[in-house]
Chains A and B, each alone.
Chain A
Amino acid sequence: MGARLIMIDVKIIALLVFGSLFSGLITSYLIKWFRKLGMVGYDVFKKDRPPIPSLGGVPIIFSYIIFLSLMFVLGYVDVDVYSTVVLVSIIAAFIGLLDDMYDLPGFFKPLACMLAGLPIIFFGTYVPRLHFLFGVSYRITYIYVVLILLGVTVSANTVNMFDVINGSALVGTLYSLLVIIISSYWLGRDLNSLYPALLFIAILIGFLPFNIYPSRVFLGNVGSLLLGSQLALFGILYKVEFPTVIAMLPFIHNSFFFLNKVKGFIEHKRLGYRVTFLDDKGLIGDAGDENAPITLIRLLVAPNRLSEKDLLLNINILFIFTTALSLISLFWW
């Protein structure tokens, strides 16, 4: 445990760099396609509500699978991990794509996303032991299998519900992935085993300029479910469930109130009432509806209205804080 000399093969660095560049290139190309096909969402936090291409998860998964396959062919990823990662990604993204295209009922996504946890169980790429701080651990052989299915669907839908303003879900995911990488390495996982997660970060970095405020492409359900499922997957794969949960506290905080008020994983657009509103100056404020859930965004704008850009900055601060908390915890492992 602790600091070790980091040696990365130059081929891996090349794969990460080219993966990132490819992700950016394919995104810029596909944006035009999505617009032509009418696959757009409306940016409700801009005064003119511009249509924005919305299947951003498609270039992400496309780039990810190509470069992960290259890693596998070059022998950097073993067959069980490769199969698990590819299948979890494809299942989660496909479920999201179905919802993007056909607007399926609210219960569909949470139930269907449990299927994305099955490859982890099938390929046995997990250890049924939960580790906490101060040397506490629980061996929970059968319960862990249930937790895998729940963890993947909860994580995927939690990130999905947080995809409210430009870049919020992507930024939170990147911070959480950073925690996964650092905590995994700190706790003694072999650096070679972390390549799938490092690649995913690289792919997301290539996509980031298109999704960050002001967005030129939205993640869509295809993207947000993919991102969330990967967080659960890597947390399980690298046995860093606890640090991952700490890093994801802002996501979890947001979801609780949806679950409490709405009794389900429902996106903002499906709610029958307004959580927030946009005023004449382009600032986001609390709609003040007693029936609406107290989401993280609503809590942030409750005392004072904020611009979307400032809201994203506040979300960044929250994630930096939980990232730091998570990493500090490693000293008490």
Chain B
Amino acid sequence: MRISRSLPFIILILVVQYIFLIFIPYILFRLYNSIVFLPGSILLDQLIKAFISFATVIIWIYQWMWVTNKSYRLLRR
């Protein structure tokens, strides 16, 4: 039975993503409940919040791929 030397790295990457998955919705939830970006227009306010959510998800995904890329380069040395 052989354990890959990558396994601890992958587990660490998944833990980081897990933490993101827990805290991002919570932080956004608190943000959206406490701030009204455009008091004069509910629709535009909702659109801004949707945009923030979308941008956050994109950043999260790119962070995941960046970390994995770096880990791969490290493991291949």
Chain A positions within 8 Å of B, measured between CB atoms, are 132-134, 136, 138, 242, 245-246, 249-250, 253, 256-257, 260, 286, 288, 294, 296, 298-304, 306-307, 310-311, 313-314, 317-318, 321-322, 325, 329, 332
Chain B positions within 8 Å of A, measured between CB atoms, are 1-7, 9-11, 13-15, 17-18, 21-22, 25-26, 29, 61, 64-65, 68-69, 71-72, 75-76
Smallest Cβ-Cβ distance to B22: which chain A residue: A133
The distance from the CB of A122 to the nearest CB of chain B, in whole angstroms, is 26
CA distance in complex: A300, B15 (Å): 17
Contact partners of B15 in chain A: CB under 8 A: 325
Known: A132-B26, A246-B18, A310-B1. A300 touches B65 (CB 8 A): no
Contact partners of A329 in chain B: CB under 8 A: 22
Contact of B64 among A132, A256, A296, A302 (CB under 8 A): A256
Known: A253-B68, A257-B68, A286-B76. A321 touches B2 (CB 8 A): no
Contact partners of A256 in chain B: CB under 8 A: 61, 64-65, 68
Total contacts A to B, CB within 8 angstroms? 94
Contact partners of A301 in chain B: CB under 8 A: 4, 6
- Indicate if the CB atoms of B64 and A303 lie closer than 8 Å: no
CA distance in complex: A318, B14 (Å): 9
- Indicate if the CB atoms of B14 and A314 lie closer than 8 Å: no
- Indicate if the CB atoms of B75 and A299 lie closer than 8 Å: yes
Contact partners of B68 in chain A: CB under 8 A: 253, 256-257, 294, 299
Known: A245-B21, A286-B76. A253 touches B13 (CB 8 A): yes
Contact partners of A303 in chain B: CB under 8 A: 4-6, 75-76
Smallest Cβ-Cβ distance to A294: which chain B residue: B72
Known: A132-B25, A138-B29. 5 other contacts (CB 8 A): A136-B25, A299-B6, A303-B6, A304-B2, A318-B14
The distance from the CB of A289 to the nearest CB of chain B, in whole angstroms, is 12
Show 12 A/B contacts (Cβ-Cβ < 8 Å), sorted by A. Answer: A132-B26, A133-B22, A136-B25, A246-B21, A253-B14, A296-B10, A299-B10, A302-B76, A311-B4, A313-B1, A318-B7, A321-B11
Known: A134-B26, A136-B26, A249-B17. A318 touches B10 (CB 8 A): yes
Contact of A318 among B5, B11, B65 (CB under 8 A): B11
Contact partners of B22 in chain A: CB under 8 A: 132-134, 329, 332
Contact partners of B61 in chain A: CB under 8 A: 256
CA distance in complex: A310, B2 (Å): 6
Known: A138-B29, A321-B14. A314 touches B7 (CB 8 A): yes
Contact partners of A321 in chain B: CB under 8 A: 11, 14
Contact partners of A133 in chain B: CB under 8 A: 22, 25-26
Contact partners of A313 in chain B: CB under 8 A: 1, 3
The 10 closest A-B pairs by CB, nearest first: A132-B25, A303-B5, A302-B75, A310-B2, A300-B4, A136-B29, A303-B75, A294-B72, A314-B4, A249-B14
Known: A132-B25, A299-B75, A304-B5. A322 touches B14 (CB 8 A): yes
- Indicate if the CB atoms of B7 and A317 lie closer than 8 Å: yes
- Indicate if the CB atoms of A299 and B26 lie closer than 8 Å: no
Contact partners of A332 in chain B: CB under 8 A: 22
CA distance in complex: A97, B61 (Å): 32
Known: A286-B76, A294-B68, A294-B72. A250 touches B14 (CB 8 A): yes
Known: A132-B26, A249-B17. A306 touches B4 (CB 8 A): yes
